[in-house]
Amino acid sequence: MKLSTNINSDLRQALLHLNKGGMISYIQTTPSAYPDLIKLALADEPRYSWRAAWLLWIVMEINDKRLRRHLPKIAGILPERNESHQRELMIILQKMELPDTLAAPVFDFCITAWNNPSAALSMRYNALKLISRITDSYPELQTELSALAADEVKSSLPKSLRRCADKLLLQRTQNE
Q: Cα–Cα–Cα angle for 122, 11, 119, nearest 5°? A: 15
pLDDT grade, residue 37 (50/70/90)?
very high
Q: Cα–Cα–Cα angle for 66, 70, 75, nearest 5°? A: 140
Its pTM stands at 0.88
127 Ramachandran zone, left/alpha/beta (phi>0; psi -120 to 50)? alpha
Query: Could you read off the pLDDT of 66-117 as tens digits, one per residue?
Result: 999 999 999 999 999 999 999 999 999 999 999 999 999 999 999 999 989 8
* 163 alpha carbon, distance to own chain's centre: 20
How many CA atoms, within 13 angstroms, populate the side-chain half-sphere of residue 119? Answer: 25
The CA distance from 84 to 82, in Å, is: 6
Which amino acid is it at 15? L
The total number of residues written for the chain in this structure: 176
Please check the confidence at residue 65 and state whether its pLDDT lies above 60. yes
How much is the average pLDDT of 160-167? 83
